[in-house]
Amino acid sequence: MIDFQNVSVTFKQNRKTVEAVRNVSFQINDGDIFGIVGGSGAGKSTLLRTINQLQKVSEGNVIVDSKAVNNLKSTELRLLRQNVGMIFQHFNLAENKTVYQNIEFVLKVAGWKKNKIQSRISELLEFVKLSDKADTYPSKLSGGQKQRVSIARALANNTKILLCDEPTSALDAETTSSVLELLKKVNNDFGVTIVIITHELDVVKSICNKVVVMSDGKVVESGDVYSVFTNPQNDFTKQLIEHTNNFDIPAEITDIIKGPVLKLTYLGDNAVESILSDTAKEYNIRYNIIHGKIEYIASKPLGILYVNIIGEDKNIKLVVSALKEKTFSAEVIYNV
Amino acid sequence: MFENILSLREDILEALLQTGFMVAVSLITAVVIGGLFGILLYTTSSSHFYKNEIVRKITGLVLNIIRSVPFLILMILFLPLSKIIVGTKIGPEAVVVPLSIASIAFFARLAEASLSDVNNGIIEAAFSSGASKSRIIFSILIPEALPSIIRNITVTAISVLGFSAMAGLVGGGGLGDLAYRYGYQRYQTDIMLVCVIMLVVIVQLIQWIGDAVALKFDKKYQ
Ligand SMILES: Nc1ncnc2c1ncn2[C@@H]1O[C@H](COP(=O)(O)OP(=O)(O)OP(=O)(O)O)[C@@H](O)[C@H]1O
Ligand SMILES: [Mg+2]
């Protein structure tokens, strides 16, 4: 378990002080895939780096497996780092070392015996599907391959915690999903706890089970991913989520429609068709479906439907409030 | 014209060997000791290693002073030291002492620059694996900086060759000395020309070897 207890980090530079992390407390359980999201400069990287003490805390404690890592002596600290892997946005592989040598370095650091190193590296390269690239230099690899090597390197010493700082931000969409699949597999096959910083909410939606949202050094929202996404409490989180979820109704459509447009969201188990047909009958209105999709958040479905309601004003009012009852949320986003 | 050269061919050969000796010894000292100073400058400026402003500034100041003194003056100043170290104030052996000192200061700064060019993220990744500082310096930092260090050794070698040519002014021997004695003092331009051509060829050779070796070690852009 990773436990942040009132952690603050303050940078002092030429009389200027920056409070990068302010009094943050939360816990990450073993086996979690834990997302940290937030805008640029929110303090995400700074917080993540306190876990392996690449960043010292100014106040508070960071407890990793019941040890306060902020008080460790240098030899204990090195031991901690040997058991916590880390991957980066720009991979940070040694350029003048082959794939094999990059992983070998970490194993030598952790004191592996020569005769074990080779078989461990083959095992790791097989796991990340790069067995044929052992003797290749990083400059010859694609971004996705580099990230897979750095995952192999981070896990080499059988680490149980993997810290990821924007691991997919330098990758295209397709490569991103293959790297995310690999991280899922790492979590699933080896029970590795993964802490992942990202500014892409899609990353959180697709692999995380828990998430914290940071803004200006503080944690402004936390919880399991599905409830944070479906029911954000904090304004900043709402903005973030709307930003990615919103569908702009094309002008061609807004020009011709009359009446309100509703955004309905419904959890996977709500039978939305029957709700629509029932309410249409009951309130004597018609629905025009403009756009609909189902998103998977932490593997659970969330339906989003944009409908235009046609009917008499007083009926429309009634049906909107009825829909608010029957679906997860119903919100008028457009009205003429 | 060729008689001059033929009659002096043993002198020319000796001068060549003297130049080779001065450059080789100074370059080796520069790479070893200057390299250590480069590591010192780098590690005392990085918070990952042994950040220490006082040590860094004092070291930097001393190196800058040496670099700003013209080599001729440096020779005159340090020849008494040669007497203590190598037992003589004349000849290539004596010149090697001030030449080494100048080259150490020259190479230290270049080595520092090479080390600073290593992507900080790579160093950070090494720290995150739990490696010790010394292991990171020798197994990551230096290998990553190696192509650039080799290019800077090449630059240093060529500068040292240039400095060594000035040794003639204090009776230090070498190709520069020969060119000066025959070409300037005795108006035998042909000898001077031969010496200059040899120096040009040596410079080209150093550059060519240095580039080839650097390229061999550079896996970044291949
Ligand atoms: N070493 C440092 N010295 C001084 N200030 C720093 C340092 N590292 C970070 N900061 C400051 O701390 C704040 C938080 O930085 P941090 O890198 O943690 O943000 P972030 O959430 O990771 O942002 P991004 O998404 O852009 O990576 C920023 O204002 C940054 O300028
Ligand atoms: Mg960051």
How much is the ipTM here?
A: 0.90
Statement to judge: residues A218 and A301 lie in one domain: no
Reported as a pLDDT band with limits 50, 70 and 90, residue A295 is confident
DSSP string, B50-66: T--HHHHHHHHHHHHHH
Considering A212, A242, A272, which residue would you say is the last residue of a domain?
A242
- Measured in Å, residue A38 CA sits from the centre of ligand 2 at 10
Q: What part of A 60-89 touches B (C-beta under 8 Å)?
A: 77-86, 88
Q: Are B23 and B16 in contact (CB under 8 A)?
A: no
A174-211 burial string, b = 16+ CB within 10 Å, else e? ebbbebbebbeebbeeeebbbbbbbebbbbbbbbbbbb
Residues paired with residue A263 on neighbouring β-strands, in sequence order: A306, A331
Give the residue with greater pLDDT, A15 vs B26. Answer: B26
The closest residue, in CA terms, to atom 3 on ligand 1 is: A11
Measured between beta carbons, the chain A residues lying within 8 angstroms of B128 are 52, 54, 81, 84-86, 163
The two three-digit tokens of residue A113, written as one number: 């015996």
DSSP-assigned letters across all residues of A216-279? TTEEEEEEEHHHHHHS--SHHHHHHHHHHH--PPPHHHHHH--S-EEEEEEETTS-HHHHHHHH
Q: In this predicted model, what pLDDT tens digit does every residue of B50-60 receive, in sequence order? A: 999 999 999 99
- Asked whether residue A235 falls in the same domain as residue A263, the answer is no
Q: How far is A170 from chain B (nearest CA, A)?
A: 15
Q: Which residues lie across from A301 on neighbouring strands?
A: A296
Q: Are residues A155 and A265 in the same domain?
A: no
pTM reported for the whole predicted model: 0.88
Domain span holding position A290? 251-334
Q: Within this chain, do residues A132 and A206 fall inside the same structural domain, yes or no?
A: yes
C-beta A89 within 6 A of ligand 1: no
In a shared domain, residues A129 and A18: yes
**Same domain? A107 vs A163:** yes
Put simply, whether A90 touches B (Cβ < 8 Å) is yes
Q: Of A208, A242, A276, which closes a domain?
A: A242
* Cβ atoms of residues A323 and A251 within 8 Å: no
**A160 & A268 share domain:** no
**Same-domain check for residues A230 and A212:** yes
Q: Is the dihedral of CA A70, A71, A77, A80 positive or negative?
A: negative
Q: Which is higher by pLDDT, A289 or B108?
A: B108
Same domain, A211 and A278: no
Q: Is A21 in the pocket of ligand 1 (CB under 6 A)?
A: no
pLDDT value of position A65: 92
CATH number, position A212 = 3.40.50.300
Q: What is the pLDDT of residues B101-160, one digit of tens each?
A: 999 999 999 999 999 999 999 999 999 999 999 999 999 999 999 999 999 999 999 999
Q: What is the pLDDT of residue A142?
A: 96
User: For chain A, how many structural domains are there in total?
Assistant: 2
The residue of chain A with its CA nearest to that of B135 is A109
pLDDT at B222: 65
Cβ atoms within 10 Å, residue A261: 21
What are chain B's domains?
A: 2-221 (1.10.3720.10)
| B76-95 confidence digits (pLDDT tens) | 899 899 899 988 888 899 99
Indicate if ligand 1 lies below 6 Å from the C-beta of A22. Answer: no
Check: CB of residue A35 under 8 Å from CB of residue A49: no
End of a domain among A189, A223, A242?
A242
- Asked whether residue A40 falls in the same domain as residue A158, the answer is yes
Query: Is there a single domain that holds both residue A205 and residue A302?
Result: no
- Taking an 8 Å cut-off on Cβ atoms, the answer to whether A78 and B130 are in contact is yes
**What's the CATH number where A287 sits?**
3.30.70.260
Tell me: do A202 and A266 sit in the same domain: no
Q: Show residues of chain B in contact with A108, CB under 8 Å.
A: 139
